[in-house]
Structure 1
Amino acid sequence: MSSTARTSVEDIQRALARGGVQEIAFRAEVHPGGRATLGLVWPTPVVEPAVGYPDLGVLILADGVLPEPWLRLPDPVFQAAPAPSANLELLERTLRERLPGAIGATEEEIAAAEARLGVTLSDEIKVLYRVTRVYSGDDFDFEEAERAGEAVGCELSGLEHLRSVDGAVRHPGWSLGAERAVSSGPDSAVQALAGSPGWIGFGSNGGDEFAVDLTPGPAGHFGQVILVDHEQSLGAELVADSLTDFVLGRMREESRDRRGDNLPAVARVGTECLGTIQAAAHPALEVLTIGAWDGAPFSLAPVMGLPRLRTLTAVPGTLSDPLEVAALTGLEFLELGAQEWRVLLDAGAVPRTLKAAAIKVRDQEHLPVVALANEILALWDRPQIVQTLLAGDLGPAT
């Protein structure tokens, strides 16, 4: 980069800093003779910044919308029972031996916690807080809290800080989340969810969260202990069949991958992937990605009518008839090339079930793409993206 160009970039950075703008999408062209253009796309709440290419990001078509996996509620667990290893007497005796003189919560305080959470806590977690409430108010005792954590096996939360794991908080954004899926089978100990009203977080290992699971999977136990990994946005790992096991150090490992990021829930068609749309068609299909492809464009006819298909992404030029998208009646996320979007817009065929959308670009000017994005946003009465084009002459390069 020449000194002139570098100075120009620094001037822009200073101007953005003065305006409180932390990031901005731009495209700059500087010709050898000095003629230069700079296109700026200003940040807006209706666009989620892209993780990588393309630079425009994801259009959010309503406030607070999330992909379906982050909204999914647990299946009923009417027959779920505590594990045989759940031993209330042993648990209480062990905790009292490890925590002599600890102050426990009253029945009224435990009932208040249940009312606040909207759940009935497991008998084991009640035993834990009857022994030590780990109170964190004005009389908080750090040493007592540390002893309680050592006795239980994690950084223990106070009774008043028990909370259910909120799936929405774990959402990684549409650019990543739209192509994710989760699935549970009859042998699943933990339901494949982002969160649950019955995942009651009670402690941590300094980063990840331990929770008692009141909504276990078909092969799980009521009150089992699970680990919610802070680096993952879906699912949880079984670590102990009961809180008794957890306190006694009798850990479990469930290594099966429950994310469902493969067939039949997620399918990828294209070079080095599936060679036909028909091969991807399955009643459980949720996410269809059509990547680079050297053959004839694909028809979407084989996936029409699939009940769970919610995400479609397609590289420009890979659809034989973009209007077939209108027949996919359950789409919540759609990513197409600019020409395919143009066809849908001109025909008034953009699916109104969409929650979010993206324009997949190749080496295109971003200003026309922004204009197209604003047409899409207008269908949902969303605010428009503001763009600025600057042109000038920097003088010949030295």
Structure 2
Amino acid sequence: MVDRRSALPSMDDFATWEPVLRLMVAGHAERGSARPIHVAGRVGRHGWSLPLPGRMSSTERAAVEAIRKALARGGATEIAFSAEVRPCGRTTLGLVRPGPAVEGAIGHPGLGVLVLVEGSLAEPWRRLPERYLGSVPAPSADLESLERTLRERLPDAVGATEEEIAAVEARLGVALPDEVKVLYRVTRARWEDWGEDYGAAARVGSAVGCELFGLDDLHSIDAGARHPGWAQASTEAAGTPPGAAVQGLAGSPGWIAFGTNGGDTFAVDLTPGPSGHTGQVILVDHEQSFGAELVADSLTDFVLDRRKAEGGGRRDRPPVVARVGSEGLRTVEAAAHPALEVLAVDASDGAPFSLAPVTGLPRLRTLTAFPGALVDPLEVAGLSGLEFLELGAREWRVLLDAGSVPRTLKAAAIRVHDRNHLHTVSIANEILALWDRPQIVQTLLEGDLGPAV
């Protein structure tokens, strides 16, 4: 869809973009040649992706800031652009407002990710915890020692009643471990119990070993809240090794958050890994979108400062994730394995590949293939479990014309070589239309940058 009417206040004014375009074409190798040149990028209210050489000067930064302010005035979060600059200086500028069905991706050369199923998450973020037989509290869990220590440290604390604890269990839908009940019977950690004494919160934190959440603030770690967006999540995989104490999950109804170190979250784990203990304490890193680290075998150990850490391993281990082609495996056959979940194919330094060896693999959910990397794009139709697919524009054209776009997809992307995504908007809208998703609006502007000097 091409909309030549105003898209955003001041964003449809060529003059708003002219300073940035001049900076981008000034150092272009083909500027002054007989051929048109293309430049493209993306500007958002929280960042930008522009192919400018070296560090940005104050002039360049001011030009970008003017666009960001225009975005803010128009209520938009991000806009992508592509421009064709002819030798005479006449310029066609295409502005693309991604819209609600497109997940912005600063740094991504294309339009971003097309979210085909609203609110969808990549499979690892939908994964539920396994239940391992024999999971029990750690031998170090000592209710008497825990209560005695807490009462010695917090002699004047106001504890929770059994009714208050039962109400929290009903809200969470799980039975709290006995150690957690002991903790909150000693202190329910409510601000109203401390009055104007802000030091009381500090004393509770010192006694427990973290900034303790109030009883009413206990909550489970929501996997969906940690989803980093399809651009990253589609390429990640995770699993729980046989000897792991903590399951490889983004979240769990059994990860009950009870405190923080000021950024990361401490939780008791009611769904431990195969070698873990029920009620162990884990740390959920706010900078990570997946997994958790073992901190203590029990809440008793945590309070008594008998802590330890479980060494983390790579989540995306072969054969779960594989790259074929440039700087990867030499053949698709080498990647074929029943456990394969994510496959990236790049033929930039060789002949294209057939997908026949991975047809029918039960867990393959993500395929990213660079333009020209596939012998036959229609082989994609044989991958029955795909939820994310990234292809070049030509490959998408083949699938669309054949009516062979996999309907199992939850998200998709169009890969471009040169950041010039003007020609991909119509293809993106065809893909979105298959799922009745909102269309992308493209605005075309004309201007003149003058001939090269």
TM-score of the pair, normalised by structure 1: 0.94
Deviation of the 1:369 alpha carbon:
0.4
Alignment equivalent of 2:226, drawn from 146, 170, 188: 170
Alignment equivalent of 1:251, drawn from 288, 307, 310: 307
SS at match of 2:302: helix
The equivalent residue for 1:6 is 19
Asked if 1:338 corresponds to 2:393, the answer is yes
The equivalent residue for 1:64 is 119
Alignment equivalent of 2:245, drawn from 189, 203, 207: 189
Deviation of the 1:36 alpha carbon:
2.0
Answer yes or no: is the 8 Å Cα contact 1:4–1:397 preserved in 2.
no
Alignment equivalent of 1:97, drawn from 148, 152, 157: 152
1:1-398 paired onto structure 2 within 5 Å: 5-6=18-19, 15-31=70-86, 33-137=88-192, 140=195, 141-257=197-313, 259-363=314-418, 365-394=420-449
Q: CA distance change for structure 1 residues 254 and 14 in 2, over 3 Å: closer, same or farther?
A: closer
Answer yes or no: is the 8 Å Cα contact 2:189–2:215 preserved in 1.
yes
The aligned amino acid for 1:60 is V
Q: CA distance change for structure 1 residues 6 and 254 in 2, over 3 Å: closer, same or farther?
A: same
SS at match of 1:53: coil
Query: How far apart in 1 are the matches of 2:290 and 2:300?
Result: 26
Q: CA distance change for structure 1 residues 29 and 340 in 2, over 3 Å: closer, same or farther?
A: closer
SS at match of 1:368: helix
Task: Tell me the alpha carbon deviations over residues 342-362 of structure 1, each in whole angstroms, 9 at most, x when there is no partner.
Answer: 111111000000000000001
Task: Tell me the alpha carbon deviations over residues 13-64 of structure 1, each in whole angstroms, 9 at most, x when there is no partner.
Answer: 6654432333210123445644122110013110011241323000000110
Deviation of the 1:5 alpha carbon:
3.6
Answer yes or no: is the 8 Å Cα contact 2:293–2:312 preserved in 1.
no
Answer yes or no: is the 8 Å Cα contact 1:37–1:392 preserved in 2.
yes
Query: How far apart in 2 are the matches of 1:308 and 1:4?
Result: 45
Count of residue pairs the alignment pairs up: 396
SS at match of 1:24: strand
Query: How far apart in 2 are the matches of 1:284 and 1:132?
Result: 47
TM-score of the pair, normalised by structure 2: 0.83
Answer yes or no: is the 8 Å Cα contact 1:119–1:198 preserved in 2.
yes
Query: How far apart in 2 are the matches of 1:319 and 1:242?
Result: 52
SS at match of 2:78: coil
Q: CA distance change for structure 1 residues 7 and 323 in 2, over 3 Å: closer, same or farther?
A: closer
Q: CA distance change for structure 1 residues 12 and 157 in 2, over 3 Å: closer, same or farther?
A: closer
Deviation of the 1:394 alpha carbon:
4.8
Answer yes or no: is the 8 Å Cα contact 2:158–2:193 preserved in 1.
no
Answer yes or no: is the 8 Å Cα contact 1:267–1:287 preserved in 2.
yes
Deviation of the 1:118 alpha carbon:
0.4
Q: CA distance change for structure 1 residues 16 and 231 in 2, over 3 Å: closer, same or farther?
A: closer
The aligned amino acid for 1:252 is K
Aligned-residue Cα RMSD (Å) equals: 2.1
Answer yes or no: is the 8 Å Cα contact 2:223–2:252 preserved in 1.
yes
Query: How far apart in 2 are the matches of 1:50 and 1:394?
Result: 28
Structure 1 unaligned spans of 5+: none
Deviation of the 1:101 alpha carbon:
1.2
Query: How far apart in 1 are the matches of 2:262 and 2:90?
Result: 54
Determine what percentage of the aligned residue pairs are the same residue: 69
Q: Pick which of 320-329 and 358-367 moved more.
A: 358-367
Answer yes or no: is the 8 Å Cα contact 1:51–1:175 preserved in 2.
no
Answer yes or no: is the 8 Å Cα contact 1:48–1:58 preserved in 2.
yes
Structure 2 unaligned spans of 5+: 1-14, 22-62
Deviation of the 1:275 alpha carbon:
0.6
Q: CA distance change for structure 1 residues 14 and 198 in 2, over 3 Å: closer, same or farther?
A: closer
Q: CA distance change for structure 1 residues 371 and 90 in 2, over 3 Å: closer, same or farther?
A: same
